Amino acid sequence: MIRVFIADDHALIRDGFAKLVNGEEDIRLVGEACSAEQLFEILPTVGMVDVLLLDIGLPDRNGLEVLKDLRLRAPEVRTLVLSMHPEERYALRAIADGAAGYVTKDSASEELVKAIRRVYTKGRYFSETLTEQFMPQSRSEVQTPPHTLLSDREHEILLLIGGGMSVREVAKTLALSINTVNSYRRRLLQKMSLKSNGELIRYVLHHKLIE
């Protein structure tokens, strides 16, 4: 029996996923949470959990940060990230932070059960799209997108500036000093071999990192 826990802030989505997994003879839903805080409160109380379905957009904490905590606090749990965002936006970052797989919510009805079983038996799940785009067969073909190499803060600032915010607006939004934001901006431009905000914005739009 595969024991599954769901962490998602939308009750309708939790209910839908619950019906989906509970309809399978070899999968059992053992717990659910609507926030990161609730996840870490309830998870230790439900006994063994084989696969955690984790929404990357929890209201109280970024899912990527939650993944890092899970590696320390529940390393035995294999985490399958659920996201409304396309794979090219967060999948590689999520996997680098400890996720065992990544499923978009619009494809979850077809992929979720298969992904849960794959993570449980093989430890990892990659969709066909992710495999084709980011997991080439030959080592010489590997071309990791530059934005996946950024730190969480650099990535956050990349998306804000890419969405049209000025450095001053980013500083206010993140409660940072302008000098600090400028330092992050210079660092991420260097890592990505970009020279200006204009190039940064074009990169973000080209890679569909924002809506």
pLDDT in tens, 71-111: 888 989 999 998 887 666 677 778 878 888 888 877 777 78
For helices 152-162 and 167-174, what crossing angle results, to 10°?
130
Strands 51-55 and 2-7: parallel
Say how far apart CA 167 and CA 149 lie, in whole Å.
Answer: 21
SS (H, E, C) 24-85: CCCEEEEEEECCHHHHHHHHHHCCCCCEEEEECCCCCCCHHHHHHHHHHHCCCCEEEEEECC
| The two structure tokens encoding residue 136 | 């080439």
Report yes or no on whether pTM surpasses 0.75.
no
The pLDDT value recorded for residue 37 is 94
State the average pLDDT for the chain.
85
Identical fold between 2-134 and 146-206: no
pLDDT of 138 strictly over 60: no
List the chain domain ranges.
2-134, 146-206
Q: What is the tens place of the pLDDT at every residue in 37-61?
A: 999 999 999 999 999 999 988 989 8
The CATH classification of domain 2-134, taken from the options 2.60.40.10, 3.40.50.261, 3.40.50.2300, 3.90.78.10? 3.40.50.2300
User: Using an 8 Å Cβ cutoff, are 203 and 193 in contact?
Assistant: no
pLDDT of 32 strictly over 90: yes
> Class of the 146-206 domain?
mainly alpha
The pLDDT value recorded for residue 7 is 95
Q: Which residue has the higher pLDDT, 166 or 143?
A: 166
